[in-house]
Structures are given as C-alpha cells and as structure tokens.
Amino acid sequence: MRASVIDGKAVAAEVKAEVAARVRAFVEAHGRAPGLEVVLVGDDPASHVYVASKEKQASAVGIRGGVHRLAADTSERALLEVVAGLNDRDDVDGILVQLPLPRHLDAAAVIDVLDPAKDVDGLTAISTGLLWSERSGLRPCTPWGCMRLLDRTGIPLEGARAVVVGRSALVGKPIAAMLLARHATVTVAHSRTRDLEGLVREADVVVAAVGRPEMIRGSWIADGAVVIDVGINRRPDGSLVGDVEFAAAAERASWITPVPGGVGPMTIAMLLSNTVDAAERRVRSR
C-alpha cells in the first residue's frame, strides 16, 4: 500500500483532549460546565446507539447535559415546544435534534425554531449562511471533522482541485463551502453528474459522501491524491465499508481515510468542540 492512512481515532482523541481542557477552563471562569442537550424522537436503533455514544463522550470531556427521549408518535407541536424550552434555558449551550426524525415530523420546521447560537449541528439557515459567507459560526460536525483530517495531512488546499461526491445539506454542500473558503477549486458531483470517473481522475482531493459501497473505484484515483471517505455502508455480513474502494485507492493515493476509523470518530469529537465554542460565544455575547 502506498498511501498513508489518516487515523481518525487518533485525531478525534486529540480534539477531545483539547475540548476537555477548554471545558475545565470554562468551568473555572464561569462556575458551570458547558451544556449539551440531545433530543431523540422514536425508536430508530442506529440513532439510539449514536445518541448513547454522544452522551458517554460528552460526559467524558466534562460536558453536562441529557437526552430527551420522545415517543415515535410525538406531535410536531410537542417537539417544537421541547426545543423552544431548551432555547430558553440559560444553562444549555448546545441543542442537537437527532436526525432522521419519524416521517410525520418535518425536520426543517424543527431546525427553524432552534436558536442559532445553540445550533451545534450547524444546520440552521443562519449557520449555513455564516458558512457560505465565510463568517465565524457553528459548522456541521462531519464536514468540519473532514477539514481537520485534511489539515492533518499537511497538503496545501489552496489551488487544489477538489471533487466532492454528494450534495447533502449535512455533508456534501458544507464541505464544498469549507474547501472553497480554503481556496480549493471545488466541483460538487451528484446523482445526475455526467462522467464522474473523469472528474475524480482529475482531482487532487476526493471527498466521497454518497452512501454507496465502494462506488468510487480505486483505479479512478489520481496518483498522489488525498481521499476522504465519509460513506458508512453495512455489508450483508455486518462489516462496514466506505464509498471508496479502499485497497485499490490506497495503491494510488498519498493519504486516505479508512472505514471505519476515519471520518466516523470525528463527528462526535467536533460536536463536543462545537458545544464548547457555543458556550464560549454565548458568554462573550453578554
């Protein structure tokens, strides 16, 4: 294998150590820990596992908070009231509504009522506008974690040709904005893109956020390119695989993230980092 593997677990551990130190300083200065509240609606098993992990990792770095578990048939009005209640609580710095929501609930309506100052998932229209206008704000956790991994490689992004495959509001679009802000030349590909292979072949940086196992073939990767694989796909045998054909891509890339152990661990680490950011901003803005 030619590529160096970007160790997301190690970088996430570094981020969490930084967060723990900032939490200690915050407690010393303000007499309370930063607070993160998670709202979880319904019984989606993956969401329950994910939220339990957030809760455990938050408490490990000293962030205080809890999980509001609501029944699957919760009305939109009841959910909006829970979020509004958390908006009003002064000890709450970050609010995260776990997605996806049950079908009868409109995620956009819920995100719209969230106080942008507490938007630690970086998904409100205000956070999105701040990102695209390159002003400081809370950034979506997964792409923000990808940027941290890219920085870890030390490769210059300025002038680099970056291809982002996927245009979701959660990953593809925000990472495109982040790469653009770092002066990369960014192409965003999606399901209607013609000649994806040709685009990927030209890229110095490839970010795959599609959700299709190994759809980016290793032979498409340019010599020396950096590959960030956001995809998490479960094989029939239960193992996880990314959107990139890892072994073949690693023969050509200079740096590559594995799945699991690449982007995955960064998401919660950046959520915790955003929570401390939000807490510090809120006390500064008083």
Answer for the pair 259, 241: CB distance below 8 angstroms, yes or no.
Answer: yes
Identity at 194, one-letter amino acid code: R
| Residues between 217 and 276 with contacts to ligand NDP, criterion CB under 6 A | 230-233, 263-264, 267
Answer for the pair 266, 142: CB distance below 8 angstroms, yes or no.
Answer: yes
Answer for the pair 165, 172: CB distance below 8 angstroms, yes or no.
Answer: yes
The number of residues making up the chain comes to: 286
Catalytic annotation on 57? no
| Residues between 160 and 179 with contacts to ligand NDP, criterion CB under 6 A | 165-168, 170-172
Q: Which of 57, 93, 98, 115 is catalytic?
A: 98
Residue among 87 and 168 whose Cβ is closer to ligand NDP: 168
Q: Tell me, residue by residue from 99 to 138, as one string, x for binding to ligand NDP by CB under 6 A and - for no binding.
A: ----------------------------------------
Catalytic annotation on 121? yes
Min dist. Cβ of residue 146 to ligand NDP (A) = 9
Catalytic annotation on 195? no
Alpha helices, H only, the chain = 8-30, 45-60, 76-88, 107-113, 125-132, 141-153, 172-181, 196-201, 246-250, 264-284
Q: Which of 93, 121, 243, 277 is catalytic?
A: 121
Structure tokens at 220: 């498409």
In angstroms, the CA 142 to CA 121 distance is 9
Residue 190 within binding range of ligand NDP, rule CB under 6 A? yes
Binding site for ligand NDP (CB under 6 A): 142, 165-168, 170-172, 189-193, 196, 209-212, 230-233, 263-264, 267
Active site residues: 54, 98, 121
